């Protein structure tokens, strides 16, 4: 296998196809922010602006600017996005909305803390690019909001009633681990070290199940597995793999090489479990006991799942 051939192909696809597509088609030059509903020809088919994707674009262009491929125009794109989102995307209590319309008016309340996660990432990458304190301030605000709401991610917008069984969800812990890494690498702060360590320990020791060879999406508050319910049996192979490369990145940067061997085992096992032996590709959702899944799109092969598997495999 010629690794250089693969490396060259990915580099070419990124720099000559993917990034130019978004540069040419996603920027809203009238109101700011980005169009993210783009057809294959680059035409816009919806103008609402969801904060997750908006902040991810800020993060990507700031990160590209911080790379060896550095271009001033990429930093300009990230800054313009940041300006639009900080002007329009935060309510009077300092919480990030879930979505805005094209003009920047809020259309969905700040009911989910993951808007804060991506706001932190975008702001932190801009601080690394510019060393301007306002970006660090924004990143720390978003990070503190995430940590503050960690145990109740939806807050007053949670529709659950008192009798619903509470679960610990993998994504809240894996995202916190990633944010701690970004805080370390972009902001040069280690304030969230304990939160990151606790999240990683839970992923490695509690969400992982050796019997089935998978990382569960949900576990019970007492750290047991709820095999008597669809929610408890839910496996999201892409999430599990994504969590693994977050932890690998943490291990690499914190001299925790002892984690790497276990993670290699987890990755191989998770890939094997999620792989479609007949047609290839990785399933979106799976039931650990092979029961029918409640998500109707369970057998779709989503692009992000395969991107995460590629990143994870390369890190390993």
* Residue range 42-79, pLDDT digits in tens: 999 999 999 999 999 999 999 999 999 999 999 999 99
The residue-averaged pLDDT of 76-105 equals 95
Number of CB atoms found within 10 A of residue 75's CB? 18
**Among 112, 130, 239, 90, CA closest to 174:** 239
How far, in Å, are 217, 227, 239, 250, 286 from residue 230 at the CA level?
A: 11, 8, 17, 31, 10
Query: Tokens standing for 28?
Result: 């809203």
Q: Are 186 and 123 in contact (CB under 8 A)?
A: no
Express as a percent the part of the chain with pLDDT over 90: 79
Do the domains 165-316 and 30-162 match in fold? Answer: yes
Query: Tokens standing for 5?
Result: 């051939």
Express as a percent the part of the chain with pLDDT over 70: 97
Tell me the C-alpha distance between 115 and 103, whole Å: 18
CATH, domain range 30-162 = 1.50.10.20
**Among 234, 235, 244, CA closest to 275:** 235
Tell me the C-alpha distance between 119 and 84, whole Å: 12
Domain ranges of the chain: 30-162, 165-316
* Model confidence pTM above 0.75: yes
- State the pLDDT confidence band at 258, using cuts at 50, 70 and 90: confident
Q: Where are the alpha helices (DSSP H) in 26-169?
A: 51-65, 72-88, 114-130, 133-148
CATH class of 165-316: mainly alpha
φ/ψ (deg, to 5) at 282? -115, 130
Whether 228 has a pLDDT exceeding 80, the answer reads: yes
């Amino acid at each position: 296998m010629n690794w250089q051939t693969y490396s060259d192909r990915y580099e070419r696809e990124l720099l000559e196809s993917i990034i130019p597509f978004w540069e040419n088609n996603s920027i809203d030059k009238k109101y700011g922010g980005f169009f993210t509903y783009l057809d294959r020809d680059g035409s816009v088919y919806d103008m609402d602006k969801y904060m997750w994707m908006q902040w991810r674009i800020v993060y990507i262009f700031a990160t590209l600017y911080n790379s060896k491929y550095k271009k001033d125009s990429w930093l300009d794109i990230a800054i313009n996005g940041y300006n639009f989102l900080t002007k329009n995307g935060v309510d009077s209590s300092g919480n990030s909305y879930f979505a805005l319309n094209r003009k920047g008016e809020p259309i969905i309340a700040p009911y989910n803390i993951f808007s804060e996660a991506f706001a932190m990432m975008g702001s932190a990458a801009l601080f690394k690019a510019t060393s301007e304190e306002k970006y660090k301030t924004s990143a720390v605000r978003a990070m503190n909001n995430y940590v503050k709401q960690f145990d109740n991610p939806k807050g007053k917008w949670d529709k659950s009633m008192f009798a619903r069984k509470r679960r610990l969800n993998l994504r809240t812990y894996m995202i916190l681990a990633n944010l701690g890494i970004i805080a370390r690498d972009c902001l040069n702060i280690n304030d969230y070290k304990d939160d990151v360590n606790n999240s990683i320990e839970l992923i490695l020791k509690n969400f992982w199940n050796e019997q089935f060879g998978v990382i569960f999406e949900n576990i019970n508050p007492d750290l047991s597995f709820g095999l008597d319910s669809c929610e408890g049996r839910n496996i999201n192979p892409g999430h599990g793999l994504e969590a693994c490369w977050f932890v690998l990145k943490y291990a690499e940067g914190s001299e925790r090489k002892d984690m790497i061997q276990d993670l290699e085992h987890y990755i191989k096992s998770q890939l094997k479990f999620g792989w479609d032996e007949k047609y290839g590709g990785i399933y979106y959702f799976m039931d650990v006991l092979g029961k029918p899944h409640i998500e109707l799109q369970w057998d779709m092969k989503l692009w992000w799942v395969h991107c995460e598997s590629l990143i994870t495999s390369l890190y390993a």
